[in-house]
A and B are shown apart, each in its own frame.
Chain A
Amino acid sequence: MALLRFWLEQLGLSTLGLALPPPLVSFAPESNLAEGSPLQLWLVTFLTVFVAEMGDKTQLATLLLSAHSQSPWAIFLGSASALVTASLLSVLLGGWLGQVIPAAWIEWLAGVGFLMIGVYVLWREWQGAHLRQG
């Protein structure tokens, strides 16, 4: 785990590296961004959402809609504003949850949540592969 954290930080992904548990002995050099800085939070959010959304069904829908449309700008505006609206909803809802649920539970809930989503995505992806091969 410590080695993984070290390499993530070496790759400049110090923000992701800081998401991992601190090692007993730190191999990692000074991280590039100040801990807890807004820029770090922005970057973590950007990377997480970007990686989650690339290849996602909503991006696929955007691709298909624009392929059949005479006005790709309209599709871009509609799609981008829909996604921003949805993320506004989730930020507000998440913020409310953060107020009503104790902080320790949130940390655990977020961990379990990400874990379950990740496992589900991998399972869906490789279940499909198994069916294709079989």
Chain B
Amino acid sequence: MVNQENSSQASSFSLRQIASRAALVSFGSILLAEMGDKTQLATLLLSARSQDLTVIFCGAAAALISTSFIGVWAGAWVARLIPPRWMKTLAGVGFVLIGLGLLGESLAAGS
């Protein structure tokens, strides 16, 4: 009886250890990978042109939490549905369009 209680306590303790280690590992590696990433640059550029930093942070945070959720629980499914290459192409085209739009605005404002 005592041995069973001890082993279940031990296994729940080690699961907590595994979980906190997993959280720390993912935190560290994702933070490192994100530095200088296009997502971070986009957020930086958007914040530079706006006074309302709180709104931008909330928008970015909501999007990042969503994509993390998708990555953990629906990543394989999404990859089957939409090939990563299409998504990267969509992102690239989207960025080019936004860039052209912003340049157009700056030219219009300057003239």
Q: Which residues of A contact B (CB under 8 A)?
A: 1, 16, 19-22, 38, 41-63, 65-67, 69-95, 97-98, 101, 103-104, 106-122, 124-126, 129
Contacts and interface: CB of A to CB of B under 8 A. Distances in A.
A101 to B, nearest CB: 7
Interface string B68-111: 11111101101100101101111111111111111111111110
Describe B's contact surface by its main secondary structure.
helix
Given A86-B35, A111-B102, A46 B63 contact: yes
Q: Which of the four size classes fits the interface of chain B?
A: 35 or more
B44 A94 contact: yes
A110 B64 contact: no
Contacts of A57: 33, 37
10 contacts: A46-B59, A61-B29, A70-B22, A71-B19, A84-B65, A87-B61, A89-B40, A108-B102, A118-B96, A121-B88
Contacts of B33: 57-58, 61
A76 B65 CA distance: 8
B47 A94 contact: yes
Contacts of B31: 82, 85-86
Contact of B87 (A54, A61, A81): A54
Contact of B91 (A72, A86, A104, A121): A121
